[in-house]
Amino acid sequence: MVPTNSQTPAGAGPLSAATLAQAVDAALAWWREAGVDGDWLDVPQDWLTKAHPAPKVAQPATEVIEKIALAGGHTAWPTDLGDFSAWWMDATGLAPPGARRIPPAGPANAALMVVVPMPEAADADTLLSDQAGRLLDGFLAAAGLTRAQVYCAAALPARITAPDWAALADSGLGDLLVHHIGLVCPQRLMLFGQNGISTLLGNGLTNNPTNLQLMNHEGAGVPALTVYDLEAIAARPALKAGLWSRWLDWMPA
């Protein structure tokens, strides 16, 4: 066997560097021939952790981050329907600065409350005054109603591009919408724009699409019907028949 350390046999002179390198290579070759091809320890070692230590994550200054209350929070929202329209036009946080806002309109305790996600692009001073509004007026006439009997409102006071409804729901816009509905106290509720409105209201609607109940802020149930967006119905006439069929099934006999 070749020596595996720098000691030399008794009486021999010191090994040269070349001879020592040959001895080390020979020792390693001997162990490889014996089947030992690694450096083994009884205690496991996590080499990856040592090579790439986990980055330190900065801890937040406080564990609870307070959510900014929408439009001043629930305590700042009007409790009288007569005050709501003016507040809706000026309250901060409901629309981008400079955006044209459209007020809701209609009587309290309306036979029907219509809610759309946001005003039409061509609305000027009155909500639903363009193509979608004309479609709504035709539908109401067929149902034996007039616009004067209907309270029309939008979930947003101004039209914005590609609203993030989930984020708006988290901000409290859905709670504000339910508060608004509670002030109106309608006999029935039609929600146009299933994706946006349903996202805002979340679990406030029951799961049965043929007999929805929306719980207002006082705990009373309002029969509600969710349908496609008015602009989508106007663009796809086939949806009109489906809307009318659902209306007839929804109304009491």
* Per-residue pLDDT reduced to its tens digit, 187-209: 999 999 877 888 888 755 544 44
Closest by Cα among 99, 154, 128 to 231: 128
| Of 110-119, 223-232, 234-243, highest mean pLDDT | 110-119
Residues 6+ apart with CB under 8 A from 223: 187, 188, 189, 211, 212, 213, 250
Across the range 163-189, mean pLDDT stands at 91
Is residue 242 a contact partner of residue 140, using CB atoms and an 8 Å limit?
no
Residue-level pLDDT at 77: 93
Residue 35 pLDDT: 63
Give 208 or 128, the one with higher predicted confidence.
128
Contact 230, 132 (CB under 8 A): yes
Confidence of residue 104 (pLDDT cuts 50, 70, 90): very high
CATH (residue range 106-250)? 3.40.470.10
